[in-house]
Amino acid sequence: MTDTAAPDSSAYTPPKVWTWTKENGGRFASINRPTAGATHEKELPVGRHPMQLYSKATPNGVKVTVMLEELLAAGHKGAEYDAWLIRIDGDQFGSGFVAVNPNSKIPALVDRSGPEPIRVFESGSILVHLAEKFGAFLPARGAARAECFSWLFWQMGAAPYLGGGFGHFYVYAPTRIEYAIDRFAMEVKRQLDVLDRRLADNEYLAGAEYTIADIAVWPWYGALAKGLLYGASGEFLSVHEYKNVRRWTDAIARRPAVKRGRMVNRTSGDPASQLHERHDASDFDTKTQDKTSEPAKT
């Protein structure tokens, strides 16, 4: 899918020392920068529930809201949470958010259930924290526990190839670079094949049991298999070929907690599926974007 209007990337010779310009970031140039830390003072709000989540409904954000909704559905009342929307247009560089996640990425969680607040950042770490805290969605021992952790960390290592690699060059880069798209498309299809082979003989990634491994992988590769990521990428990658991934994807998508979790902190798509912030279970019935007078934002 060569774009004949794109400059010849083979003509680029890296300088001896790289320097940053605001044009380096493509669509996200206004918020990308090569340094960390806060850019402005802004405290985070705090609600009344034990868990305070600061996030947005990207695949990494969806992992945590699905997990919290699954815990509540399983009867763990201590998992009640406030989900505050962090718009990725600079909110992530506020002083309060940086104090919770020095990496300035969503999601970030503050567990206020104990005598001292505990900050937890990185989506995989949040899933493990919640699973161990409530003794749920994580096998207690043996081979299933090892499989669960293996697939969880597989996702944490693999998703950058899908998001920052394929997704960036296929959708967000300012120019279409054939080599980059081909390189990452090949890797994403290999990853889909890895999943498809695993799911050929197993209902879920850790075996017979639904775990945090599935909760972590599904918002990325399940969404891809359903054609929900990166425009026409599903057709481009022939996701219909991965029948076992699609079977697994559909089974998880039918879970009520997953349906709710996908809605939280969502600001695009069907207004009936957008719940910008979640502070009570009843918000799903009364405060989705189609039920509020607040204008939709993207």
Q: What is the pLDDT of residue 244?
A: 98
Residue labelled with tokens 């209007």: 5
DSSP state of 105: -
From first to last of the 298 residues of the chain, give the pLDDT tens digit: 444 444 455 678 999 999 887 666 566 666 788 999 999 999 999 999 999 999 999 999 999 999 999 999 999 999 999 999 999 888 999 999 999 999 999 999 999 999 999 999 999 999 999 999 999 999 999 999 999 999 999 999 999 999 999 999 999 998 999 999 999 999 999 999 999 999 999 999 999 999 999 999 999 999 999 989 999 999 999 999 999 999 999 999 999 999 999 999 999 999 999 999 999 999 999 999 999 866 555 5
Q: Which domain holds residue 217?
A: 142-259
Instruction: Please check whether residue 128 lies inside any domain of the structure.
Output: no
pTM over 0.75: yes
Whether 12 is covered by a domain: the verdict is no
Look up the CATH number of the domain holding residue 179. Answer: 1.20.1050.10
Query: Is 20 a member of any domain?
Result: no
In a domain, 177, yes or no: yes
Q: Where do the H-state alpha helices sit in 201-231?
A: 212-217, 223-225
Q: For residue 233, tell me if it sits in a domain.
A: yes
**What pLDDT, on a 0 to 100 scale, did the predictor assign at position 269?**
93
Report if residue 293 sits inside a domain: no
Half-sphere exposure of 83 (CA within 13 A, CB side): 33
Question: Is the residue at 33 inside a domain?
Answer: no
Which residues 6+ apart lie within 8 Å of 5 measured at CB? none
Per-residue pLDDT, 98: 97
Tokens matching residue 71:
């815990």
**What is the number of structural domains in the chain?**
1
What is the DSSP secondary-structure string of 181-199? Answer: HHHHHHHHHHHHHHHHHHH
Phi and psi at residue 264, to the nearest 5°: -70, 135
- Rg value, the chain, Cα: 20
Evaluate whether residue 253 is within a structural domain: yes
* Crossing angle of the two packed helices 178-200 and 142-160, in degrees rounded to 10: 170
- 137 closest CA partner among 275, 257, 249, 248: 257
